[in-house]
Amino acid sequence: MSASAVRRRVVAHGHVQGVFFRDTVRRRALELGVAGWVHNRPDGAVEAVFEGGPGAVEEMVSLCRAGPPQATVSDLECIEEQVQGLSGFEVR
């Protein structure tokens, strides 16, 4: 992880489970070289953490704000966090 890396935690609310949200996020993160994870929360939201270059991480945040075509994102929480040096990307 470079010194210019950033970390964002996002929580997407709305119709976001059962619509390939996690897989869409995973595939794009791997394409962009973004590290982190994504998972379905019990409250119906999808939560993800992204670490990487600022542009790539912001692209991931934008993807979550829109969601895949089948999703309807009603709200997206985005929190800046301290980089922890994650590697790889997983669906939890």
* Residue 40 among the catalytic residues: yes
Return the bridge partners of 79, or none. 9
Exactly one of 8, 40, 41, 92 is catalytic; name it: 40
* Residue 22 among the catalytic residues: yes
- Structure-token pair, residue 29: 């993160």
Nearest one of 62, 75, 66 to 34, comparing CA atoms: 62
Q: Taking the CB of residue 82, how many other CB atoms lie within 10 A of it? A: 6
Exactly one of 7, 22, 28, 92 is catalytic; name it: 22
Cα–Cα distance, 69 to 67 (Å, whole number): 7
Q: Which residues are catalytic?
A: 22, 40
